[in-house]
Structure 1
Amino acid sequence: MENLNLLFLTEALLCFMCPCLSKQTPRVSFHKGNPGRHLTHFSSHEVSNTTTLLLSENGDVLYVGARDAVLALDVSHKDVIMLRDKLDWSPSDKDLEQCSMKGKKKADCPNFIRVLQFLNTSHLYACGTFAFSPRCTYINSDTFTMNVKPDEGRGRCPYDPFQRNTAIIVDGELYTGTVADYRGNRPVISRHLSEGRRVDMKLDDTLGWLEDTTFISSSFIPDEEKIFFFFSEVGQEYNFINKFIVSRVSQICLSDVGGQRTLQRRWTTFVKAQLLCQADNELPYNVIQDIDTLPPAEGASADDTLFYGIFTSQWSVNSGRSGVCSFRLRDIKSVFSGNYKVLNRDTLQWSTQVQEKVANPGECGLHNASDNALRFVKENFLADDSVQPAGRNLTMVSTEQYSHLTVQRVKGANNRDYTVLFLLTESGYLHKVVLLQNGAHIIEEVQVFEQPQPVKSLELSKPKGVIYVGTSEGLVRVPVANCSFYWTCAQCVLAQDPFCGWDTVKRACVEASNIQTNLGQDVERGNVEAVCNSVTYTHRARFGPNILPAGQLVSVSLNEVVRLQCPAASQLSEQLWECPNNRLSPDLYLHLGDGSLSFVATPATLGHYLCLSTENGYQQTMAIYHVKQKSSLIAQTPTTYTLRQTHPIPSTQAVARAGLGLQTSVGPKKIEARQRGTEPTLSSMDAHVITTQLKGNFTPWTQEPVQSAQGSCYLKELVVVSVLLVLSLSLSITLLFYFVKQRCRRQTAPQTATPIRDSARRTPMELEAHKMNQFLNKHNGQSLHTEQANGFGCNGVFRGSNGHLPNTPI
């Protein structure tokens, strides 16, 4: 045991060292209400929790177990689901009052139908929680009425509506896996409705055959005459500090009627083994969530029956991930025929000890064995080996948390069988996955409900080619094929959908059938060139001499930041941009995360731009733009160019449909027209070109001017600089005049210090100086006259008409 604990500790350390798994991306995604994926809904304000589904053999009637009712829905019509009959089955007020007195919530006390099976050709058998007091009843499928007095449902149906259970009817007998007490502490696998010399059976409660069990599913294998149950429980064979959950498969034989003295009315053929869903050097995905049975191919042995299951992990290192594993019936039988663990009743420790086999546990017919043989099988019911997944590897690992699945085998156009899984995520999406030799490929995801649902179920109708999803909001019908969505041969092939193929006569993607032999399809590789005879052209071929592609004319101003949109052909494609007359330098161009191209409009960046979508080695043109300067356009009219020997250019609708989910570019009328065949579809083999304006694909936006690396001259900047220069010169001249004026004032300041009003007060020296000034004025009359005429004095200072400074007394 210590070695086993050390092994798991080592695996945990290795798991932390392993690189994280990359998220598997669905090729196409459809949100709820998207016209590209037609869904049919059924809901009613009087009906809720439509979570237990049962489909009639011909697929025309779907019986639904809901809250306080059983419904019969007419699903024979393609576009509508109609309510044919409704059978009310609700607890009385007294029952609801007793349920509340037990401490249960009022919302959990109604009758939730958890068992709904065909009893025979004329009756159904249904069981419900019935206010935490389970009841069962017979329903006439013709009149849709039930018997007056319901049966006791203990051991047939859970008490709690949130407890999982499983039930199956074989030859009129009900085999169930559920809890048999109010508290949910007694898990039991039992048989009911036995007739004649057969008796009802159940497990021996004293042996601890089941521990804290959560039942998942059950499957009947006719060739083995056995029923296999799948569940998870606490693994008592592992001695850990915390409870270690393991996934199990168990079996019982239909012929088992219990021992004569030992194990009376108890299973003598019950054995169980661990299902191991584990990748190399990682902790196992140990908690089973759902499982479905895939019958063997036509002509193959029953041992090739596969069980596909969803597993999650109880460890945080794998939190949020899901592992999908498949188990072969041959491997399960091999484990059950091997050695078994032995439980020491004194120490309650499990061990493997080689001992002589008195009987073979799990072998049918042990009810006639001796008491010694029955005591041996009573103690040896846990297989020593674990059931390994088919191929010793996981089918797929996803970062999505899956809750339910259903599986189908599909025959492709090449007459090969392909396995298709339909996986329901906790977030409300249905993933369609095809299993290929190089791994799982998610063809598409479809949103079936918006809010997380506590209880869900899937029901596959192979005759009708649809899947029914039951939720607390209502019922959703999803067609398994959506071939009309792919409008070209390339898209039809790249989908790698075994349901679809390209019809070369109709030039459309249609559903594959055994009758059609001319369908183009490549599920394994998705090779477009091999199927559609397409050629991938180089840059020189697309832009040869005098060849300009047609596209949308985009008028921009210089120094404007431009953003060109590029619709994606799928979520797996990559967007590439090409320009015939310029290299897309990272200094000038910015490739954004959504595939668009952003750059500044300069003379060097004007011209043609071509957006290409590359997927699986195939390129196709998604958008073409011709960027021109506004000022150079006299009339903004679409320009048509000639394109020779290049990729077919899809129409406006085709390019719009290529976007992710096609949520904004395609309206319902466009889709209906395409489905009616009124809208032309383009093949990748078309040689002609459709000239069109792709309006709405271009989104210009501006920001602060960005300096171009080419050093170009800008008219706007030149005008602004010139205006600023003129203003600066004017201010400088004004300041210069101001400083000159102040200087002149300072030079003439002494003349105004003492005003001279009376010549008599002058001294003899002053009178002599005054006479000298008058003499000089007579001789300098010409100069004075010039100054007076100009009005300026020294250094350009303005003077009055008398030759003196203004306001200065003479």
Structure 2
Amino acid sequence: KRAMYPVLSLAVFWLLPLALTLEEDSPLDCRPRRSVPYRSENAQRFHEEGVFNYSTMLLREDLDLLVLGAREAVYALELKDISKKRTSVKWEVTPKQKDDCRNKGKDPEMDCKNYIRILHKTEDDRMYVCGTNAFDPECDYMSFADGTLTLENKREDGKGKCPFDPFQRYASIMFENNLYSATSMNFLGSEPVLMRSGLASIRTEFKSSWLHEPNFVSMTQMPEAMTSTIGDDDKVYLFFSETAVECDCYNKLVVSRVARVCKGDLGGLRTLQKKWTSFLKARMDCPVLESQLPYIIQDTYRWCDPQQDWKDCLFYAVFTPQSDTSDLSAVCAYRVSDISKVFAEGKYKTPVTVETSFVKWVMYSGDVPVPRPGACIDNEARKEGITETLGLPDRTLQFIKDRPLMDQVIQPIGQKPLLVRRGATFTRIVVNQVQGADGEKYKVMFVGTEEGTLLKAVNYDGEMFIIEEVQLFKNTEPIKILKFSNVTGQLYAGSDSGAAQVPLATCERSSSCMDCVLSRDPYCGWDKAARKCTLLSSSQGELIQSVKDGDASLCPDADPVKPLNKSIWPMGNLKLDCPPPSNMAKTNWERDGNHLTPADRLQFLQDGLLILNASQSDAGQYRCLSVERSKTSEHTTTVVEYQISIHPAGSGDGKAIYPQAQTDGPSVAGLQAAIGLLVVSLLALLTWNFYKGHLPLPWNCGKKKGEQSLDQEGLNSHVSYQQAPRSAQEEDKPVVVGRDNGTSNNNHSRGEAAVGAAEEENNASGVNLPSLQFIDDESEI
């Protein structure tokens, strides 16, 4: 057995590099097939000078408007082209409000502004708008008529509706003219609340078992009463993360949650007066392979098929790690029916006091009161004579007051993420369904990131595939909001610097059939008749598409590539451009039909080939081949061809890298002016130094050392370095000006500068250094 230990050690040593290699090619490193850099034509954009934080959006498709909330302004933009502004209205804080905010310790230029945070349509076609208002939130009604946005100045207190802090996460929806909001009730942000504002206002308890340091993410409503067989009520779902009260651990552990309340909840009669009687919450999990700590929810999107029941709706959620040791982000999908079942039938968690005052949360195994705690009023309750929550017995209400947490953890569909990616952190998500050429329906995920990019991804039967990544904003800034319009079929994104509008697909980015098919974009296909990559929805002809396999062998033979003529001097350098058509493709080079390999004079670049010190042997026909593997096979296509000739006259027309001197133009004139100015400055500097005596005059340079005189009084007050007496031991010790005591980071440079100055002064009799010291103790250097 002892002989086996060295063998096992060697096996681990040799298998470790293999494991690292496998990890590099794992699905966790899923990268986009195409990366599209920032260009002005990539999207329609809107930005107004001096205005920031475009992070609140309301789609008014009935008015063909995108209502955009920013810092101290609300804009009405054309829905089909947001670069066109219809109108806007300012909502700025007063000087007094700004002063009050500053006196409370907030930044007057960042915090003490009015950040628009709530924008909802009301049933009378007006809009309800709220802003942070210099840490004193306020709400108002806004109307759009005759091409003008108007604030109605019907100001309402925004506490509990809108956050105080403009950088704090919150969530809200308007449902049947009632505002449901999740934010903080106070200036310090220490009283989190889920509240319904309206005729029957109601909120959560201020208890850590209800909400414990939450970070609110999103909110949505589900019409569950519509087809309910038990007379159930509509629900409002809230997604958030919070510090786990149930965790038996030393450090704080943050977990993801989903909570829900019933639309008809009016609170209890004695217990839980004007508090939710239907507030229940459960933990959500999105298991990522290498994670030990749970991932934290950042955004959700409710996707429903209009032809299906609400039970078939899905919640897509974006998750990110809570530790800095991981750079993975994930998307998980959950069935609404699974979440609803946990709340309707699941076990509860209950706090149990252990030892002294330590509280441990365990599964409740005792009797559950009837009606069921946290349930909506349904047919069973009505049979008992309970028609509203005010009639619920105190035993049911006390139970839910103490035990709002469910025991069961909600797992995603398939028990794993739909998409995992290493790199830029995910921030927002929108999901759209499209029917492919094969008749099957595919759900395409559009994911915003911290770097201002938009990912377009599909999960094909468990295979994660990112079609493309587009840089929407010039600066690397987070996408803070992402919306989709069914009317225009466009996506709308907002960030600190502006808003952007992009289509669901840009098929024209693929110029060949192979590129179009290998993109595996369910929106796009190769039109045989038109010979271009086009939208399925706008084409009438026969299309080639293979989204699951990327089978480019279905494509007809491509037209031959016309060679480009290039020439170069002997011993010159030439770069042949060949950008790979995708991030998945590898490029190979051929010369006169023979495979090329890298050499000293042939350097393979990411976007081309570099020929160095060209000779006659380098002439010939060069071909750049793109090789890309799909699920079916490898596909090779010619990207570009070059015919290279060596011309002694150097009349090449390629991208030859020749040194060229510019003999005219504004740059030469500028250089001449700069040199002239430099000469004049140098002469002036020399004259000033001669005048001040810092430099010796030319006729004094020939004097010998012995001819120089210095009176004793001058020696005491102004020691000349070259005449200072030095012992033999002092000859090689450094000279410094003053002492630094190690407080500067430039100790070496100061010492070297002083020594250098001393050496120069050996040749000049007029240079004196004040307070020069010899260091006898080398530890003082």
Kindly provide the amino acid, as one letter, of the partner of residue 215 in structure 1: F
Q: Does 1:171 align with 2:180?
A: no
Aligned position for 2:713: none
CA distance in 1, matches of 2:595, 2:160: 75
In structure 2, relative to structure 1, the CA distance for the partners of 1:372 and 1:550 (3 Å cut) is closer
Give unmatched runs, 5+ long, in structure 1.
1-15, 537-541, 543-548, 638-694, 703-810
User: Is 2:449–2:478's contact at 8 Å kept on the other side of the alignment?
Assistant: no
Q: Does 1:312 align with 2:320?
A: yes
Aligned position for 1:30: 36
Kindly provide the amino acid, as one letter, of the partner of residue 202 in structure 2: M
Q: Select between 396-405 and 42-51 the one with higher mean Cα deviation.
A: 42-51
CA distance in 2, matches of 1:583, 1:511: 38
Deviation string, structure 1 residues 601-639 (Cα, Å, up to 9, x no partner): 4555542221111223222111212333335x9x979xx
CA distance in 2, matches of 1:133, 1:93: 13
Aligned position for 1:493: 517
Shift of 1:293: 1.1
Aligned position for 1:480: 504
SS in 1 for 2:325: helix
Q: Select between 512-521 and 469-478 the one with higher mean Cα deviation.
A: 512-521
Q: Select the residue among 193, 196, 202 that pairs with 2:198.
A: 193
Give unmatched runs, 5+ long, in structure 2.
1-18, 226-233, 382-388, 660-781
Aligned position for 1:364: 376
In structure 2, relative to structure 1, the CA distance for the partners of 1:146 and 1:560 (3 Å cut) is closer
Aligned position for 2:262: 253
User: Is 1:501–1:519's contact at 8 Å kept on the other side of the alignment?
Assistant: yes
Kindly provide the amino acid, as one letter, of the partner of residue 255 in structure 1: G
Deviation string, structure 1 residues 644-671 (Cα, Å, up to 9, x no partner): xxxxxxxxxxxxxxxxxxxxxxxxxxxx
Shift of 1:364: 0.8
Q: Select the residue among 291, 301, 310 that pairs with 2:300.
A: 291
In structure 2, relative to structure 1, the CA distance for the partners of 1:265 and 1:74 (3 Å cut) is same
Deviation string, structure 1 residues 355-381 (Cα, Å, up to 9, x no partner): 222243432117233211222222221
CA distance in 2, matches of 1:59, 1:415: 34
User: Is 2:332–2:413's contact at 8 Å kept on the other side of the alignment?
Assistant: yes
Q: Does 1:553 align with 2:561?
A: no
In structure 2, relative to structure 1, the CA distance for the partners of 1:602 and 1:517 (3 Å cut) is closer
Q: Does 1:203 align with 2:204?
A: yes
Instruction: Give runs of aligned pairs for residues 728-739 of structure 1, distance below 5 A.
Output: none
Kindly provide the amino acid, as one letter, of the partner of residue 82 in structure 1: K
Shift of 1:151: 0.7
CA distance in 2, matches of 1:298, 1:90: 41
CA distance in 1, matches of 2:543, 2:124: 40
Q: Does 1:226 align with 2:235?
A: yes
Deviation string, structure 1 residues 258-295 (Cα, Å, up to 9, x no partner): 12222121111111111111134532552211111111
Kindly provide the amino acid, as one letter, of the partner of residue 258 in structure 1: G
Shift of 1:699: 4.2
Aligned position for 2:48: 44
* Aligned-residue identity in percent: 33
CA distance in 1, matches of 2:303, 2:601: 53
Shift of 1:440: 2.5
CA distance in 2, matches of 1:348, 1:160: 32
CA distance in 1, matches of 2:312, 2:118: 29
Q: Select the residue among 68, 83, 88 that pairs with 2:90.
A: 88
User: Is 2:209–2:245's contact at 8 Å kept on the other side of the alignment?
Assistant: no
CA distance in 2, matches of 1:607, 1:477: 47
Aligned position for 1:303: 311
SS in 2 for 1:205: coil
Q: Does 1:326 align with 2:349?
A: no
CA distance in 2, matches of 1:610, 1:328: 52
User: Is 1:58–1:463's contact at 8 Å kept on the other side of the alignment?
Assistant: no
In structure 2, relative to structure 1, the CA distance for the partners of 1:437 and 1:558 (3 Å cut) is same
SS in 1 for 2:517: helix
Aligned position for 2:366: 355
CA distance in 2, matches of 1:566, 1:572: 15
Aligned position for 1:807: none
User: Is 2:254–2:294's contact at 8 Å kept on the other side of the alignment?
Assistant: no
Aligned position for 2:727: none
Q: Does 1:75 align with 2:79?
A: yes
Shift of 1:507: 2.4
SS in 1 for 2:120: strand
Larger radius of gyration: 1
Kindly provide the amino acid, as one letter, of the partner of residue 99 in structure 2: E
Shift of 1:582: 4.4
Q: Select between 388-397 and 203-212 the one with higher mean Cα deviation.
A: 203-212
CA distance in 2, matches of 1:206, 1:283: 28
CA distance in 1, matches of 2:594, 2:113: 71
Aligned position for 2:215: 214
Aligned position for 2:347: 339
Aligned position for 2:701: none
SS in 2 for 1:223: coil
Aligned position for 1:596: 608
User: Is 1:306–1:329's contact at 8 Å kept on the other side of the alignment?
Assistant: yes
Kindly provide the amino acid, as one letter, of the partner of residue 410 in structure 2: V
User: Is 1:456–1:471's contact at 8 Å kept on the other side of the alignment?
Assistant: yes
Q: Does 1:435 align with 2:438?
A: no
Shift of 1:410: 1.6
SS in 1 for 2:626: strand
Shift of 1:351: 1.3
Kindly provide the amino acid, as one letter, of the partner of residue 164 in structure 1: R
Shift of 1:466: 1.4
Q: Select the residue among 132, 135, 157 that pairs with 1:152.
A: 157
CA distance in 2, matches of 1:356, 1:50: 51
Deviation string, structure 1 residues 361-417 (Cα, Å, up to 9, x no partner): 432117233211222222221111111111111111112211122111122233321
Shift of 1:25: 2.5
User: Is 1:59–1:461's contact at 8 Å kept on the other side of the alignment?
Assistant: no
CA distance in 1, matches of 2:157, 2:651: 81
Q: Does 1:55 align with 2:59?
A: yes
Instruction: Give runs of aligned pairs for residues 90-109 of structure 1, distance below 5 A.
Output: 90-107=92-109, 108-109=111-112
Kindly provide the amino acid, as one letter, of the partner of residue 630 in structure 1: H
Kindly provide the amino acid, as one letter, of the partner of residue 625 in structure 1: Y
Kindly provide the amino acid, as one letter, of the partner of residue 628 in structure 2: E
CA distance in 1, matches of 2:593, 2:466: 39
In structure 2, relative to structure 1, the CA distance for the partners of 1:517 and 1:551 (3 Å cut) is closer
Aligned position for 2:662: none
Which protein is richer in strand relative to its size?
A: 2
Aligned position for 2:732: none
Aligned position for 1:387: 410
CA distance in 1, matches of 2:624, 2:573: 18
Kindly provide the amino acid, as one letter, of the partner of residue 188 in structure 2: R
CA distance in 2, matches of 1:489, 1:321: 33
CA distance in 2, matches of 1:559, 1:140: 73
In structure 2, relative to structure 1, the CA distance for the partners of 1:302 and 1:106 (3 Å cut) is same
Shift of 1:69: 2.4
Aligned-residue RMSD, C-alpha: 2.8
